[in-house]
C-alpha cells in the first residue's frame, strides 16, 4: 500500500535504548533540557512546557527519552521516561531534595518520597497511545494503562491505531514507499522530504513543506482527492508536534466532516480522535469549550451511526467529562476576574 494511505502498520522493532537528558526546573517560568532553555507560555505551567518539549523530542526522534528532572519548584527529583509515541511514565518514585542539592541517579532513588507535585510527581491521565492529557483535567484516580481501548475478560481486544497514532506510525516507520494509489506518484518525493524533516526534528520546515504541498496537490488532484486528504492528515499531525493544537484540531475536524460526507466512517473516526488529542492540549477553558462543542456534536453524530465510533463509546464519554471540567474552570475564572 502507499505510504500516503496510512494503512500499512510498522513491523515490531526491538525497543530502542532510551536517550538520556538532564532537566532542571529553576523557577515558575524557566527550565532547561540538556542546557537548552525552555520558557513557559503565558498561563502555562513550566512543568507542562517541559513535558511538551520532551514529548515532541521523543516523537521526532522515534525513540524513547529518559529524563532526570530536578524540579527546584517542587524540591524533588523525578525520573521520567517519554516513549516514542509521546506517552510518558515515571520510572521510580520522586525523591525529596533541597534546592541546591545535586541529584544522584534517578533510576535508583533513595530517601523519602515527597508529596506529589502538580505535574511530574503525579501520573498523568492517559488518553490515546499518542500522549497524556494536561494534568489540570486528570481525575485523581487515573492509573489505567495508556491504551483506552476496551478490554475483554480474556485479553485486550486488538484495535488498529487511529488518529495521530496512525500518522505517527506511518511517518516514523521504515517501510518503502510504493506507488499504488492514483496520484500518489506526484507526492512521493515531497512526502519523503516531509517525513525526513519530521524524523530529524525539523518541525517548522516540515510544516512549511506540508502546507505548500497541500496547495500544489489540491490544484492538480482536487481538494477531496484521497491522497490530498491523507496529506492534510499529516499536516494536522505536524501542527500538533509544532505546538499549535488549535490548528491541528480544526484541520482534523474538517477532515472528519469530509470523510463522513463520503461515508468513510473509519477514516472519519480516526480524524475525530486526532481532533480530540489536539483539543486536550488546549488549556484556555473558554477556547476549549468552544472547540469541544464542535467536536462532541460531530462525534455524537458518528456514534449514532453504525461504525467504529458507535463501537467505541468510552472516549466520547471521556470527552464529555472534560467538558464538565472545562465548564467548572471557566466559571471559576470568570468569578476571579
Residue-wise pLDDT for 152-166, tens only, equals 343 744 566 778 888
185 and 248, same domain (yes or no):
yes
What is the DSSP pairing of strand 65-71 with strand 19-27? parallel
What is the model's pLDDT at position 62? 65
Phi, psi (degrees; rounded to nearest 5) at 244:
-120, 70
pLDDT tens digits, residue range 102-160? 444 333 344 434 433 445 544 334 344 333 333 334 333 333 333 333 433 437 445 66
183 and 123, same domain (yes or no):
no
Return the residue matching grid coordinates 489540491: 218
Average pLDDT over every residue of 247-259: 95
Return the residue matching grid coordinates 513535558: 51
Q: How many CB atoms lie within 10 A of CB 220?
A: 11
202 and 118, same domain (yes or no):
no
84 and 196, same domain (yes or no):
no
Q: Say if 253 falls within a structural domain.
A: yes
64 and 117, same domain (yes or no):
yes
131 and 169, same domain (yes or no):
no
Residues of the chain with pLDDT > 90, as a percent, come to 27
318 and 180, same domain (yes or no):
yes
Range of the domain at 189: 164-336
237 and 121, same domain (yes or no):
no
193 and 282, same domain (yes or no):
yes
192 and 291, same domain (yes or no):
yes
Q: Say if 217 falls within a structural domain.
A: yes
Q: Say if 64 falls within a structural domain.
A: yes
Check pLDDT > 60 for residue 308.
yes
What CA–CA distance (Å, rounded) separates 170 from 191? 11
180 and 327, same domain (yes or no):
yes
Q: Say if 107 falls within a structural domain.
A: no
Between residues 302 and 335, the one the model is more confident about: 302
pLDDT tens digits, residue range 186-221? 788 888 899 888 888 899 999 999 999 999 999 988
The structural domain count of the chain equals 2
What is the model's pLDDT at position 183? 58
**What's the pLDDT band for 18 if we cut at 50, 70, 90?**
low
What is the model's pLDDT at position 111? 41
124 and 43, same domain (yes or no):
yes
Check pLDDT > 90 for residue 173.
no
Tally: H helices and E strands in the chain = 10, 7
Please report, for the domain that includes residue 199, its CATH number.
Answer: 1.25.40.10
pLDDT tens digits, residue range 65-105? 888 888 887 778 888 888 876 778 888 778 777 544 444 43
What is the model's pLDDT at position 299? 95
Amino acid at each position: 500500500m502507499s505510504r500516503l494511505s496510512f494503512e500499512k502498520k510498522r513491523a515490531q522493532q526491538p525497543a530502542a535504548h532510551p536517550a538520556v537528558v538532564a532537566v532542571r526546573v529553576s523557577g515558575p517560568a524557566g527550565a532547561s533540557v540538556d542546557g537548552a532553555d525552555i520558557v513557559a507560555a503565558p498561563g502555562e505551567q513550566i512543568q507542562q512546557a517541559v513535558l511538551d518539549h520532551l514529548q515532541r523530542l521523543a516523537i521526532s526522534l522515534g525513540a524513547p527519552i529518559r529524563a532526570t528532572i530536578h524540579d527546584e519548584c517542587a524540591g524533588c527529583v523525578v525520573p521520567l521516561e517519554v516513549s516514542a509515541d509521546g506517552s510518558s511514565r515515571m520510572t521510580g518514585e520522586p525523591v525529596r531534595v533541597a534546592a541546591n542539592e545535586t541529584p544522584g541517579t534517578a533510576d535508583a532513588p533513595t530517601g523519602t518520597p515527597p508529596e506529589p507535585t502538580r505535574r511530574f510527581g503525579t501520573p498523568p491521565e492517559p488518553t490515546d497511545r499518542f500522549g497524556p492529557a494536561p494534568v489540570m483535567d486528570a481525575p485523581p484516580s487515573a492509573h489505567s494503562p495508556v491504551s483506552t481501548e476496551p478490554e475483554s475478560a480474556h485479553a485486550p481486544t486488538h484495535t488498529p491505531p487511529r488518529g495521530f497514532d496512525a500518522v505517527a506510525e506511518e511517518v516514523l516507520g521504515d517501510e518503502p514507499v510504493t506507488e499504488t494509489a492514483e496520484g500518489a506518484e506526484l507526492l512521493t518525493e515531497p512526502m519523503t522530504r516531509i517525513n525526513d524533516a519530521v524524523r530529524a526534528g525539523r518541525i517548522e520546515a516540515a510544516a512549511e513543506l506540508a502546507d505548500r504541498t497541500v496547495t500544489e496537490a489540491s490544484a492538480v488532484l482536487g481538494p477531496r482527492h484521497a491522497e490530498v486528504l491523507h496529506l492534510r492528515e499529516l499536516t494536522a499531525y505536524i501542527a500538533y508536534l509544532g505546538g499549535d493544537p488549535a490548528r491541528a484540531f480544526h484541520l482534523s475536524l474538517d477532515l472528519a466532516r469530509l470523510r463522513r460526507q463520503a461515508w468513510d466512517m473509519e477514516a472519519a473516526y480516526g480524524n475525530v480522535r486526532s481532533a480530540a488529542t489536539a483539543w486536550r492540549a488546549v488549556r484556555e477553558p473558554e477556547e476549549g469549550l468552544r472547540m469541544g462543542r464542535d467536536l462532541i456534536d460531530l462525534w455524537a453524530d458518528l456514534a449514532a451511526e453504525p461504525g467504529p465510533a458507535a463501537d467505541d463509546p468510552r472516549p466520547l464519554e471521556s470527552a464529555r467529562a472534560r467538558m464538565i471540567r472545562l465548564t467548572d474552570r471557566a466559571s471559576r475564572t470568570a468569578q476571579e476576574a
